[in-house]
């Protein structure tokens, strides 16, 4: 079954997670919005204003994939508006959708999944949920592209969760 990764990332954490999954799965990884805001204020504004309402890439009726892995941060306990728009516009083009998220706290996954379910019209096939907060409680990764190396090491620490996720989506192959 053909699979594809779509990712949304402001600071680079979820771009890094998407790259890790892409390497493991050997599939394409496509940004939902290459011009996603990078600063915290930009992210906050697009969350509060619920923008953009239309997020590319919009898939044609012919472009149907067995499995889409959608990779994104949690914003205010929900999906970023661009991700919500993308899923709403394209949910019929995928047989399955799996969710992968590198967030800060890792404690808002339940509310983010409720948002996903009401947008997609069903549960994700699998969920990968990585908290980038360090065990000591300090912020391990700031929302800053320069921290991609640190993100990579934290994502590497989540290797067991990533393995579980890969085997869960493996059931569709
Ligand atoms: C506007 C905004 C709201 C956020 N809300 C949450 C949240 O509710 N829960 C959480 O764990 N992290 C939250 N975060 C932190 C991001 O999920 C986290 O920094 C994530 O790794 C950023 O991913 P990115 O670098 O791919 O953009 C928020 C970040 C921003 C910018």
CATH number at residue 35: 3.40.50.360
Indicate whether residue 74 lines ligand 1 (CB < 6 A): yes
Long-range contacts of residues 107-112, Cβ cutoff 8 Å, at least 24 apart: 107/131, 108/74, 108/77, 108/78, 109/74, 111/77, 111/78, 112/74, 112/77, 112/78, 112/79
- Tens-place pLDDT, residues 86-113: 999 999 999 999 999 999 887 899 999 9
Q: Which atom of ligand 1 is nearest to the CA of 47?
A: 1
In the predicted structure, residue 138 carries a pLDDT above the cut 70: no
Average pLDDT value for residue range 29-34: 95
Pocket test for ligand 1, best of 45, 74, 101, 154 (most atoms within 8 A of CB): 74
Average pLDDT value for residue range 136-141: 47
Q: Separation of 22 CA from ligand 1 center, angstroms? A: 22
Nearest to 87 by CA among 105, 72, 102: 72
Average pLDDT value for residue range 124-138: 78
**Which residues form the domain of 78?**
3-172
Pocket test for ligand 1, best of 6, 103, 129 (most atoms within 8 A of CB): 103
pLDDT at 106: 79
Q: Going by DSSP bridges, is the β-strand pair 28-31/3-7 parallel, antiparallel, or unpaired?
A: parallel
Q: Which of 50-54, 95-99, 123-127, 141-145 has the lowest mean pLDDT?
A: 141-145
User: Which has more confidence, 140 or 128?
Assistant: 128
Indicate whether residue 101 lines ligand 1 (CB < 6 A): no
In the predicted structure, residue 169 carries a pLDDT above the cut 80: yes
Average pLDDT, the chain: 87
Q: Separation of 139 CA from ligand 1 center, angstroms? A: 11
Rounded to an integer, what distance in angstroms lies between the CA atom of residue 19 and that of residue 24?
9
pTM beyond cutoff 0.85: yes
* pLDDT classification of 137: cutoffs 50, 70, 90: very low
Number of domains in the chain: 1
């Amino acid at each position: 079954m053909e699979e594809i990764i779509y990712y949304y990332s402001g600071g680079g954490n979820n771009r890094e997670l998407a790259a890790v999954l892409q390497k493991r799965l050997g599939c394409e990884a496509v940004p939902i919005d290459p011009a996603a805001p990078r600063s915290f204020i930009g992210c906050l504004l697009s969350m509060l204003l619920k923008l953009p309402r239309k997020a590319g890439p919009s898939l044609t009726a012919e472009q149907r994939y067995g499995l889409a892995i959608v990779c994104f941060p949690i914003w205010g306990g929900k999906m970023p508006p661009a991700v919500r728009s993308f899923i709403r516009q394209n949910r019929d083009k995928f047989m399955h959708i799996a969710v992968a998220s590198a967030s800060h706290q890792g404690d808002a996954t339940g509310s983010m999944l409720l948002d996903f379910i009401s947008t997609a019209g069903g549960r994700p096939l699998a969920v990968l949920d990585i908290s980038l907060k360090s065990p000591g409680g300090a912020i391990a990764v700031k929302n800053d592209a320069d921290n991609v190396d640190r993100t990579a090491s934290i994502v590497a620490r989540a290797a067991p969760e990533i393995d579980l996720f890969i085997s869960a989506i493996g059931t569709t192959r």
